[in-house]
Structure 1
Amino acid sequence: MQKSIGIKKANVAVFISGTGSNFKNLIQHSLKKNSKYKISLVISNKSKAKGLIYAKKYKIHKKVINYKNIRNAEKIIIDLLKRKKIKLICLAGFMKILSANFIKKFKGKIINIHPSLLPKYKGLNTHQKVIKNREKFSGCTVHFVNSKLDSGKIILQKKIKILKGDTSEKVAKRVLKEEHLLYPKALEKILINL
């Protein structure tokens, strides 16, 4: 009987700053048999980022980067990405803006998840803006990162209906659920073409 050959998984790096719920979710998807990726590196700009506990739990190489000097920080990151043979970078609640130079080096290889239906509501406080403007829908978007904030080519989007009596907290919770479904899907989708 022939042994089935395991698919070679692409090395992915995840950049986080906070609780890491999308990071944890991506890890869980990466462990599925038919997953096309493996998370080989997590980078955080905060040593106290809660998401780092998942790196420890799943034995993923982690690096906390001091962003006081952005050029130094990015040089360290680039060296690490090369050493780990990273194919793709996933931003998951990473609260630092990457330099244009960094983005150019990894053009088409950095993706981000944003909690709104881009191009609407770029930046922060998206759910408050959605409620304030009485939108009928909100959602989340996975997009490529370019040098303009939340403006790269859209990979996938998921829409949710805004319900009567919704608060920004309620919307945030429902959108996060959708993010957890959407991000792995988008990741698998683009890895096919990388």
Structure 2
Amino acid sequence: MSPRARTVVLISGRGSNMSALVEAARSPDFAAEIVLVLSDEPGAPGLAIAREAGVAAEAIDFRAYPGKAAFEAALEARLRAERAEIVCLAGFMRVLSPSFVERWKGRILNIHPSLLPNLRGLNTHERALRQGVAEHGCTVHFVTAELDAGPIIAQARVPVLPGDDAEALAARVLREEHRIYPAALNAVARSLTSANVREARLNPR
């Protein structure tokens, strides 16, 4: 692994968490470098935002491929060409296949807007309000074949306040997402870098 882990961020929309990762990676002390932003949607606003921040950004339009396997093959080829070491999902709306996830085991992260294992899947803020929970939040986790079920890296909690609607609750959670996702990526990148350094010392070429 390089001194700063080469990281690709996958998005489908505005990419607000991507922006938080890019901003954090501006620090020379940050253990990951955002080398590319990829989207499955050519019209994703986050692509322009990434370019404005000085990060390469491209689309791999899922509609251009006959199925998931072909799309993922194109995605995999682009990651390999970029020499990616870590993949971060940031509002990426494609469910990746078990075989793809397995190839990136321990190196693919996701941010989910709930306190996993509670409220897997979509519409978490509305569901939290319907359940009447006192606390809500967000989770950074490793991606596995089972949706929103991988090992947890970091979580942040927010109170559910009287009068909250889904929009207000989502905004409160999003602020925490922007805080913990960069911290989690930094920790994972440092851990992977340290592991590779130890391996290199034990097995010099």
TM-score, structure 1 as length reference: 0.93
Provide the residue aligned with 2:50 in structure 1: 55
- Code of the residue aligned with 1:98 in structure 2: it is L
Map 1:33-44 to 2 at 5 A: 33-44=28-39
Q: Which structure shows the bigger proportion of residues in helix conformation?
A: 2
- Secondary structure of 1:90's partner? strand
**Structure 2: stretches of 5+ with no match in the other structure:** 193-205
- Secondary structure of 2:114's partner? coil
Per-residue Cα deviation, 1:44-64 (whole angstroms, up to 9, x for no partner): 111111101122213322221
Per-residue Cα deviation, 1:104-154 (whole angstroms, up to 9, x for no partner): 111111100000000000000000001011000000000000011100000
- Code of the residue aligned with 2:11 in structure 1: it is I
Provide the residue aligned with 1:103 in structure 2: 101
Provide the residue aligned with 1:152 in structure 2: 150
Provide the residue aligned with 1:75 in structure 2: 73
Find 2:117's aligned residue among 116, 119, 123. Answer: 119
User: Percent same amino acid among aligned pairs?
Assistant: 39
**143-152 vs 70-79, which moves further:** 70-79
8 Å CA contact 2:41–2:62 kept in 1: the answer is no
Alpha-carbon distance in structure 2 between the residues aligned to 1:86 and 1:10: 8
Q: CA RMSD in A?
A: 1.2
**99-108 vs 137-146, which moves further:** 99-108
Provide the residue aligned with 2:171 in structure 1: 173
8 Å CA contact 2:4–2:189 kept in 1: the answer is no
**Structure 1: stretches of 5+ with no match in the other structure:** 1-6
Alpha-carbon distance in structure 2 between the residues aligned to 1:17 and 1:83: 21
Alpha-carbon distance in structure 1 between the residues aligned to 2:88 and 2:178: 13
**7-16 vs 31-40, which moves further:** 7-16
Alpha-carbon distance in structure 2 between the residues aligned to 1:70 and 1:41: 21
8 Å CA contact 2:111–2:139 kept in 1: the answer is yes
**123-132 vs 47-56, which moves further:** 47-56
- Code of the residue aligned with 2:59 in structure 1: it is V
8 Å CA contact 2:14–2:46 kept in 1: the answer is yes
- Secondary structure of 2:62's partner? coil
- Code of the residue aligned with 2:82 in structure 1: it is K
Find 1:11's aligned residue among 3, 6, 21. Answer: 6
- Code of the residue aligned with 1:185 in structure 2: it is A
Structure 1 stretches (4+) deviating beyond 6 angstroms?
none
- Secondary structure of 1:71's partner? helix
TM-score, structure 2 as length reference: 0.88
8 Å CA contact 2:89–2:111 kept in 1: the answer is yes
